[in-house]
Amino acid sequence: MDRDQLFSLIQYPLPHHLISRLVGQLAECRTPWLKNLLIEQFIRIFDVDMSQAREPDPRTYDCFNAFFTRAMRDDARPIGDGLVSPTDGVLSQSGRIEHGTLIQAKGQAYSLTALLGGDSRRAEPFRNGSFATIYLSPRDYHRVHMPLGGTLREMAYVPGRLFSVNLATAANVPGLFARNERLVCIFDTEFGPMAMVLVGAMIVAAIETVWAGQITPKSGQVQTTRYNEAIELAKGAEMGRFKLGSTVILCFPGAVDFREDLAINDSMVSMGQPLGQFHDS
């Protein structure tokens, strides 16, 4: 058993949600000396570049979460052509969805229907489409933006575990992204429906959207909200954020020509950077 397998195995018995709540409380602490210590140590350990932040002085942030979800300067993330990355991170997978199955990592696949909350109706348009998975590492910008312009049709909170979602765990925990707590957002776009899945993870204190604020589960069941009044978001507009890092999965009904120069698990992408083009674009 190698180190990555051991790291994945020891996560199974951990109280994921309790750990995440405790970390969330610490991340909201506003005691000046403590929040400054947390922020400055984090910057040092993960070599965070503050020069592109709208507010580069780490001591001005009210708490760790405010620093972690910091805004970038308006010119820091230009929006490219075609399908663009919704966030900063590592492109961990991309390609075709084969008969309702996505690739999680080498040797690991998982169900599209399970990912989207167990609703076959919701999953059907994407069964033979395309997908991309972006993993946000701790040093990255943690706001999530629209990879295409779209109109929100439906949002579903899906309860689950909170395994770590780093590359080691993705390679060793079967069905990781369909097991973790997640938020599924379905948009109508010029290329058909688009699913954006914000996946929770160990010590992720919360997921927020710009239209509903912080998502606070009311029960252990899938909670679906359908939107009759149009909520329209332009390409590049912020749609949500993670309080501590995680993963975004995009699903499309048609074929996407992903850029060949973006190597899986080895390519850092920035929000707004082109990922590929649709066949009919």
Residue type, 149: G
**270: Cβ contacts below 8 Å, ≥ 6 apart:** 77, 85, 88, 141
* Nearest residue to 281 (alpha-carbon basis) of 249, 251, 253, 256: 256
Q: What is the DSSP string of 100-146?
A: TEEEEETTEEEEHHHHTTS-HHHHGGGTTSEEEEEE--TTS--EEE-
Any idea which residues carry the catalytic annotation?
88, 145, 246
User: Which residues, 6 or more positions from 45, have their beta carbon under 8 angstroms from its beta carbon?
Assistant: none
Q: What is the rounded (10 degree) CA torsion for 241, 89, 58, 69? A: 0
The Cα–Cα gap between 124 and 153 comes to 15
Q: Which of 253, 232, 240 is nearest to 198 (CA)?
A: 240
Bridge partner residues of 226 (DSSP): 154
d(CA 93, CA 73) in angstroms, rounded, equals: 28
